[in-house]
């Protein structure tokens, strides 16, 4: 009587279970991603989406690329983009700089010693990628007027220095003495010795020595900025309907006194380490700030005593059927933080900040609606961390002890079943195919067991 060795049903069941466990897949991999955007609008007047925008800026960056872009519009009119400044970078190390050459001039006549310079429709856009980090910024002004005072005394000093400068660059016998005289006046001309006369160089050294800036008036200005600073992704925007600065840059680069009307700020940031986002807003109808003489490294002291409204507010006038007829927003700032990154990526976050000083919307939401807005700023920043694939879990086949059964002597039947380990089980149809294969193996095992029982009965 021959004996036959076969695999027991329990052993096959364990192999099937191991193959099912080994088929589970880890979460799909994805790279880190983040985005940021900012926009500022000093003044907007539009009807049915067509109108005039004054002092508008935008800035955007994306980790994919990486890339960054920015625009600045001093005044944007229908079908007219000649006042637009733009910059864009993508990929490798790159820099893009676009400045609108705004017309300048003087306003005559003024009292002796006073000069007023006027700049109209200025816009600047800059974008760069350095070390894989993108950044972009833009500024726009509808108009800027600067009042300067020309001092006769300083003018005489300028003439004296220019004479000494001529001797130094000439390299004559008295060049050294001229350089010493200039140094006693607080100007070091030695590095310029022997260099050719250049009008730009003359202007750089002596162009501002005889003038003092007294006042600066800006109308319809805004700034937008986005950047990646180490682990922080930042965006910020600000806009001003009107700005008056007394003695600009008069103390450690700060305005001695600054008065802004229709001032709005919005900012947002995303932390790449913690995947958390936050933002803040600051709408102010009137802002007064002064330079801080005690700390020249600071940003000045801001006085909020002139804030006209302490709380955000929105007023709506509604009519039956038509809905909202007029919506007035005054001094409102909102920040919304979500627990999903841009594109609803799980595990990330995003912050959106919006600030409005004054906005009137007539029939909002309709194609024929009208909008009057002063001091709007918006900023968004968010992202999601990278996910790395983990190898699929595997379960080694369980060891099975052979079972000895008595086979019939007349017609011996050999059942040979070959089962691959769970870690090498081929998959051709996803989880459903694996399940069907497991059921087939289980059925085969029971079939072998039944044959063995028939063998005993025949004996």
What is the mean pLDDT for each group of 10 consecutive residues in the chain (459 residues)? 43 44 56 96 86 92 95 82 82 86 68 77 92 94 84 60 70 74 69 58 55 84 95 96 84 78 95 96 85 64 49 65 77 93 93 93 76 94 88 60 51 42 42 48 53 50
The per-residue pLDDT for 289 is 81
* DSSP run (H or E) holding 15: helix 9-22
| Burial (0-12, 13-18, 19+ Cβ within 10 Å), 299 | exposed
The per-residue pLDDT for 292 is 72
The per-residue pLDDT for 381 is 98
| Nearest partner of 260 among 214, 313, 304, judged by Cα | 304
**Angle value at C-alpha 290, between 287 and 292, nearest 5 degrees:** 140
Q: What is the CA radius of gyration of the chain?
A: 38
CA-to-CA separations, 52 to 38, 78, 316, 373, in angstroms, rounded: 20, 7, 24, 11
The per-residue pLDDT for 222 is 96
- Lookup: tokens for 205: 């050294």
Q: How many residues does the chain have?
A: 459
- Please give the sequence-ordered ranges of beta strands (E in DSSP) within 131-204, or none if there are none: 133-150
**Angle value at C-alpha 417, between 416 and 420, nearest 5 degrees:** 140
The per-residue pLDDT for 102 is 79
- Measure the CA–CA gap between 141 and 148, rounded to whole angstroms: 19
| Nearest partner of 36 among 223, 235, 178, 181, judged by Cα | 235
- Lookup: tokens for 66: 């990486």
The per-residue pLDDT for 20 is 43
The per-residue pLDDT for 105 is 67
- For residues 150 and 175, is the Cβ–Cβ distance under 8 A? no
The per-residue pLDDT for 306 is 45
SS3 label, residue 229: strand
Task: Please give the DSSP secondary-structure letter assigned to residue 393.
Answer: P
pTM score of the predicted model: 0.64
């Amino acid at each position: 009587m021959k004996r036959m060795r076969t695999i027991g049903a329990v052993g096959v069941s364990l192999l099937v279970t191991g193959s099912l466990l080994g088929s589970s897949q880890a979460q799909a991999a994805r790279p880190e991603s983040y985005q940021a955007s900012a926009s500022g609008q000093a003044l907007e007047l539009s009807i049915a989406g067509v109108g005039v925008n004054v002092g508008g800026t935008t800035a955007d960056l994306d980790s994919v690329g990486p890339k960054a872009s920015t625009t600045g519009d001093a005044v944007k009119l229908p079908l007219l983009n000649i006042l637009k400044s733009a910059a864009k970078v993508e990929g490798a190390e790159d820099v893009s700089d676009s400045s609108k050459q705004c017309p300048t001039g003087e306003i005559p006549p003024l009292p002796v010693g006073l000069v007023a310079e006027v700049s109209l429709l200025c816009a600047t856009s800059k974008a760069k990628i350095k070390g894989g980090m993108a950044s972009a910024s833009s500024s726009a002004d509808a108009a800027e007027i600067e009042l300067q005072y020309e001092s006769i005394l300083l003018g005489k000093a300028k003439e004296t220095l220019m004479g000494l400068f001529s001797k130094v660059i000439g390299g004559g016998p008295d060049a050294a003495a001229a350089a010493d005289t200039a140094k006693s006046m607080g100007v070091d001309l030695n590095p310029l010795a022997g260099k050719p006369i250049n009008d730009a160089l003359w202007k750089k050294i002596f162009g501002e020595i005889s003038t003092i800036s007294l006042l600066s008036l800006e109308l319809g200005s805004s700034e937008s900025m986005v950047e990646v600073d180490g682990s922080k992704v930042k965006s910020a925007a600000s806009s001003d309907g009107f700005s008056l600065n007394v003695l600009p840059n008069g103390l450690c680069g700060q305005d001695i006194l600054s008065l802004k009307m229709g001032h709005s700020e919005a900012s947002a940031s995303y932390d790449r380490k913690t995947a958390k986002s936050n933002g803040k807003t600051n709408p102010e109808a009137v802002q007064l700030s002064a330079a801080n003489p005690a700390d020249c490294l600071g940003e000045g002291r801001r006085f909020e005593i002139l804030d006209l409204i302490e709380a955000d507010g929105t007023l709506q006038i509604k009519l039956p059927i038509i809905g909202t007829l007029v919506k007035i927003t005054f001094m409102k700032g909102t920040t919304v933080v979500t627990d999903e990154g841009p594109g609803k990526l799980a595990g990330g976050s995003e912050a959106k900040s919006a600030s409005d000083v004054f906005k009137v919307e007539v029939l909002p939401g309709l194609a024929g609606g009208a909008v009057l807005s002063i001091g709007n700023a918006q900023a968004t920043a968010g992202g999601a961390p990278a996910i790395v694939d983990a190898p699929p879990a595997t379960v080694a086949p369980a060891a099975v002890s052979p079972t000895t059964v008595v086979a019939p002597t007349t017609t011996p039947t050999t059942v040979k079943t070959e089962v691959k380990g769970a870690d090498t089980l081929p998959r051709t149809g996803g989880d459903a195919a694996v399940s069907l294969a497991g059921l087939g193996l289980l059925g085969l095992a029971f079939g072998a067991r039944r044959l063995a029982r028939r063998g005993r009965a025949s004996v």
